[in-house]
Amino acid sequence: MTWHGKKIYISGDCETADTILTMTDLDWAFVPTWIVVDAIEKEKEIDAKMIGIYHLYPAQIVNNGKPEKYKILENQGEVITLAY
């Protein structure tokens, strides 16, 4: 979706990163853990400035060495603000 000029991708309950890997120049991508893991295993990078990761197992961390780009969504009710 595009909102106030920001490109935002919200993943459904997909099994692979194939769809998001076709997207370019995203501002935010919200994806379940296994999508990030699949992209890493395929040695591909999700083209987004920020990636919100959900559907985590307790104590699971996925950051691919770029913690500034990944937001682990583990706190219910957390608010994310997108400046426009």
Domain range annotation of the chain: 2-72
Per-residue pLDDT, 63? 56
Per-residue pLDDT band at 82 (split at 50, 70, 90)? confident
What is the pTM for the complete model shown? 0.84
Per-residue pLDDT, 11? 92
Residue 82 near residue 27 (C-beta atoms within 8 A): yes
Per-residue pLDDT, 76? 83
Alpha carbon dihedral 66, 71, 46, 10, in 10-degree steps, equals 180
Per-residue pLDDT, 58? 65
What is the widest separation between alpha-carbon atoms in the chain?
35
For the segment 28-65, what is each residue's pLDDT rounded down to a tens digit?
999 998 898 899 999 999 999 999 988 766 666 655 56
